[in-house]
Every structure is written in C-alpha cells, then in structure tokens.
Structure 1
Amino acid sequence: MPLTPDQQAEIETARSEERTTRRATVPGMEAHLYNAHEVLDHGFVRVIDYMGDDNAIVQAARVSYGRGTKAVQNDAGLIRYLMRHWHSTPFEMCEIKLHVKLPVFVARQWIRHRTANVNEYSARYSILDREFYIPAPENLAAQSKINNQGRGGVLEGEEAARVLDILRADSNRAYDHYQQMLEQDGQDGLARELARMNLPANIYTQWYWKVDLHNLFHFLRLRADAHAQYEIRVYADAICKIVADWVPHAYAAFEDYRLGGVQFSGKGVDCIRRMIAGEQVDQASSGMSAGEWREFQAVLKG
C-alpha cells in the first residue's frame, strides 16, 4: 500500500478542515488536494498546495489589476500566444507543491531538473521501509540494440522469471543486512547515515517538490514524452492529469505546442521545403547524420 496508516490518517484530518480565503482557488485542484494518486507498485503523487490559476498567467502578462474587461476566449488566446512564442515569466506566477513517493533511481533522474525546491525524506534520521520497486512483467525489457539508454523487447518466460527472482532476492537480502547493521539487541550498530549505503536503488524514498508552472512544463515536456523512461513517465503522466485540472487553458496550449508539437533544425526545415518543392531528398543530400535523419524521418511518418 503506497500510504502508511499514519499518512492516511493525516490526509483525512487535513481534508476534513475547511478554510475561507480570498485568494484564487480552482475547484479541480481543490478536489486533488491531499488525495494520493497511486503510481507504480508503492509510489504516489499528491498535491499539498498550489498558487495561481489561468487568470494569474494572463494577469501577469498584462500587468493588470483584477480580471479587467477581457473575455475568457481572449485569455485562452493570450495563453496560447505566450506558449507559442516561448514566453516564460507569466507561467512562473503559478506554483505547485507535491508530495511524491518514488524509487531512488527515479528520484536521481528527477532531481536533474534543478529548478524546484526539494526536501527529501532523510535516511540519516529515519529508517527506510522495506518497499522496493519490482517491475510488472510487461515492463521488464531487454537492452535496446540501437539506443544505449533505451529498452528493447519485453523479456518473457524463464528469462523474465529469472530476472524478477534476482530483483526480489537482492532487494530483500540488502534490506535484511541493513536491519542487521542498525542498533539492535543491545549492540551499538552502525549509524543510519552509513547503513543506508547498502540499500539498492529500487528502494522507495519520498520528498516534497515545489515548482513553478514554467519549469513544471519543462519537466513534463521531457518526462511525459514517449521516449522517457517508463518509471518516470508514469509520474509525469499522473502530474499531467493534475495540471489539466489546475490550469486548463495553459495545459491545453502546452499539450498542443509542446507535447504534441515538434521542433525541426535549420537543416530539417530546409529538407521539408525541398520536399514540398518536389525534390527527392535522402540522408546523403540532407546534410544530417544517420541518427538525425532517422529521427527526422520518424517525425515525418508520425
């Protein structure tokens, strides 16, 4: 179960409290507050707090007071303009704070986005739970033959069972030794900050992650992409659903121009123009490397 009984009790207490405020609130986000959206086998994402809405973005862009006389359609159009032309500061007026439970190896990918405020559960002070990410059989893949940081076909049969047995056995063995090294039965034991070094990268950690909408969109553009590693992509997908309820106009523009859009190099644009003109273009005449040409072709074919 992703949530401990204590965490669940804390959430129920928080959700039972009602507060009156003059600040902008969004009904969709109010429904998300404190709810845990389960991810992977033991993980979750939940909204702790948020600031701003679609109106905060257009208000910042116009540097105006209040909603003014602009129609909602104009607001949506302005947001699309801002997204289309890569404006950033208006989107920085909105912020969100998330509580995330995730495997350590996913956290190490995630933390490379150095544009957020993070406070992680400390294994120097506390003892980590015996919870490990073990892939579902359909996500147990071999190494890709053409991409050094990607996956190939799904492992099946005896090979899949062998790998899963190793993952489970090694995870539990490491945790057994972790417990044995800690203070017990009157022995001093090893300090927690040292004992943790024996734990595997698939053990779960937790953190609070606060980020503005501009940098969140950058995170989602990379991590909700089909080429992102599955284990971080499912967290990004869960966050996308939350953001769509928070800032629907901004998310629709992001989905259209970033998630659903593509960007071509100067050589790519030149090749497209030559193709439209009726010229036969191949990799040799494109000026692109073999890898770039392959990616270019993949975008054109859809």
Structure 2
Amino acid sequence: MPLTPEQQAEIERQRAEPQPTLRVVSAGMEQHLYSAHPVLDHGFVRVIDYMGDDAAITQAARVSYGKGTRSVQNDEGLIRYLMRHWHSTPFEMCEIKLHVKLPVFVARQWIRHRTANVNEYSARYSILDREFYIPTPDHVAAQSAVNNQGRGEALEGEEAARVLDILKTDSMRCYDNYEAMISQDGQQGLARELARMNLPANVYTQWYWKVDLHNLFHFLRLRADAHAQYEIRAYADALCSLVADWVPFAYRAFEDYRLGAATLSAQMVDCLRRMLDGEAVTQENSGMAAREWREFESVLGR
C-alpha cells in the first residue's frame, strides 16, 4: 500500500486541524497539502509545505526593477518575460517541501539534482518494508537499438513473463535473506547497516525533498521529458500537476518556454535561415555532425 496506517492517520489529523495564517497562500496548492498522490505501484508524492505563489515571483522581480513597473506590465506578462529571458532569482523566491516514496534506483537518478535539501529514510536505523517496484508488462522492454541508456519495444509473451517472474522472485528472496540476517531469534543478528546491502535497487525508500521553484523547473525540464526513464518521469508528471495548481502563471510559461520549446545551436539557426531563403540544405553542407543533424530535423518535424 502507498501509505501506512500511521501515515494516513497523520494526514487525516493534519487536514482536520487547519491553522489561521497571515502569510500568502496559493489556493491551488492548499488543496494538495498533506494529500498523497500515488505514483508507480507503491510510491507517492505529497506536499508537506510550500512558500510563495506567482505574486512572490513578480514581487521579487519588481524589487530588482524598482518602483513603477507594476502599471507597465501585468503579473503573467512579467513572469513570461522572466522565463523567456532565463532569469532565475525571482523563481527562487518560491519553495516546496515534498514527502516522496520511490524505488532506490529512481532515488539514485533523482539525487543527481544536487540543488535541493534532502533527508532520506535511514536503513541503518530502521527496517525497510517488503515493498518493491515491479513494472507492469507494458513497461518491460528490450534495450533500445538507438539509445544506449534507454529502452526499446516491450517484451512479449514468455520472455516478458519470465523477466517479471525473475524480478518478483529475486526481490522476495533478497528480502527473506535480509530478514534472516537481522533476526535476533536465536542469534545476535547482523547490523542493519550491513544487511541492507543485500536488498535490490527496486526496494522502496522515502525522503523529504525541499527545493526552490527555479531548480524544480530544471528538474522537471529534464525528468518530464519524453527521453527520461519512465519511472522517474512518472514522478515528474505528478509534480507537474502540483506545480500547475501552485503557480499557474509560472507553470504555463515553463510549458511554453522550456517543456514545449527547442534550443537551436548557432549552426542550426544559420541552416534555418538558409532554408527560409530557399537554399537546399543537407547534412553534408550544414556544418553539423550526423547526430546533430538528426536532432535538427526532429525539431523541424522532418
């Protein structure tokens, strides 16, 4: 189950005791506070706390620009300008603290984003639950033939069934041995900090993750992308839904200028101008390597 009975009881207690506040709140985010949003088979994300809203971004920007700009540009227009021109500091005025339950191999990808504050469940102190990520059959796929770090088409039939059986069997066997090693029934029992090394990378862990909006957008730009691994993309998609409710102006600008945008190199811009002038541009006369040319054609939808 995604939430333990104790966690669910804590959430219900917190939601039943709203507190008055003088701080600025986001109506869209208030509805998400303390609620767990399921991800994968046993994971979730839930908002523990947040600071700021769209107005906090424009407020910080106008401190930089000086007085009188509010009448010149509305909030959404200013936010779009800031996003379009890669300003970062105003977006750092918003922060969010999340409780995330995720497989260890996803956590190892996630932690590469070193711009957040993280506190993870300690397997030295506590015993990990018998919960493992097992992909659904449509996500059991072969190695990609064109991408060395990605997957290709889904496995089918007996091969898919065999792989899933191995994943389930190995996960359970490793956990059985983990329990046997730490057991103090008739033995001293191995230290938890040592026994944990026998657990597979698909076992679930949990952490608190606090990050500002600028760095959260950077995380989402990479992990909500179609090229990201499915499992971490599932978490990124869940976070996108939360952020869209929290800071709708900023999220729409992020969609337009980051998620839905493309970056062109100087060579690509030059080739595009030549094409608009009617020149027949090919990879051979573009000045680009074959891989970059393919990426350029993909941007053009060719």
Show CA shifts across 1:131-185 (max 9, x none). 0000001111100001100111111111100100000000000000000000321
The letter for the 1-side match of 2:266 is G
Partner of 2:152: 152
Size of the aligned set, in residue pairs, is 300
Partner of 2:100: 100
Work out whether residues 62 and 69 of structure 2, in 8 Å CA contact, stay in contact via their aligned partners in 1: no
Partner of 1:118: 118
Structure 1 residue 287 displacement after superposition: 1.3
Taking the aligned partners of 1:132 and 1:282, their CA distance within structure 2 comes to 49
Show CA shifts across 1:96-149 (max 9, x none). 000000000000000000000000000000000000000001111100001100
Work out whether residues 38 and 45 of structure 2, in 8 Å CA contact, stay in contact via their aligned partners in 1: yes
Structure 1 residue 72 displacement after superposition: 11
Show CA shifts across 1:30-63 (max 9, x none). 1000000000000000000000000000000001
Partner of 2:202: 202
The letter for the 1-side match of 2:284 is A
The letter for the 2-side match of 1:7 is Q
User: How do residues 1-40 of structure 1 correspond to structure 2 at under 5 angstroms?
Assistant: 1-40=1-40
Taking the aligned partners of 1:74 and 1:242, their CA distance within structure 2 comes to 24
Partner of 2:271: 271
Partner of 2:212: 212
Alignment gaps of 5+ in structure 1: none
The letter for the 2-side match of 1:246 is W
Structure 1 length-normalised TM: 0.97
Structure 2 length-normalised TM: 0.97
Taking the aligned partners of 2:266 and 2:194, their CA distance within structure 1 comes to 51
SS at 1:41's partner residue? coil
SS at 2:74's partner residue? helix
Partner of 2:131: 131
User: How do residues 65-84 of structure 1 correspond to structure 2 at under 5 angstroms?
Assistant: 70=70, 74-84=74-84
Taking the aligned partners of 1:171 and 1:190, their CA distance within structure 2 comes to 19
SS at 1:280's partner residue? coil
Taking the aligned partners of 2:71 and 2:171, their CA distance within structure 1 comes to 57
Structure 1 residue 295 displacement after superposition: 1.2
Taking the aligned partners of 1:7 and 1:94, their CA distance within structure 2 comes to 26
Show CA shifts across 1:241-292 (max 9, x none). 0000000000000010000111001111111111111111111111111111
Alignment gaps of 5+ in structure 2: none
The letter for the 1-side match of 2:299 is V
The letter for the 2-side match of 1:229 is Q
Taking the aligned partners of 2:205 and 2:163, their CA distance within structure 1 comes to 23
Partner of 2:162: 162
SS at 1:122's partner residue? coil
The alignment-based identity, stated in percent, is 78
Taking the aligned partners of 1:53 and 1:246, their CA distance within structure 2 comes to 7
Structure 1 residue 70 displacement after superposition: 3.4
Runs of 4+ more than 4 Å apart: none
Taking the aligned partners of 2:186 and 2:53, their CA distance within structure 1 comes to 55
Taking the aligned partners of 2:165 and 2:286, their CA distance within structure 1 comes to 48
Partner of 1:252: 252
Partner of 2:85: 85
Work out whether residues 2 and 44 of structure 2, in 8 Å CA contact, stay in contact via their aligned partners in 1: yes
SS at 1:118's partner residue? strand
SS at 2:118's partner residue? strand
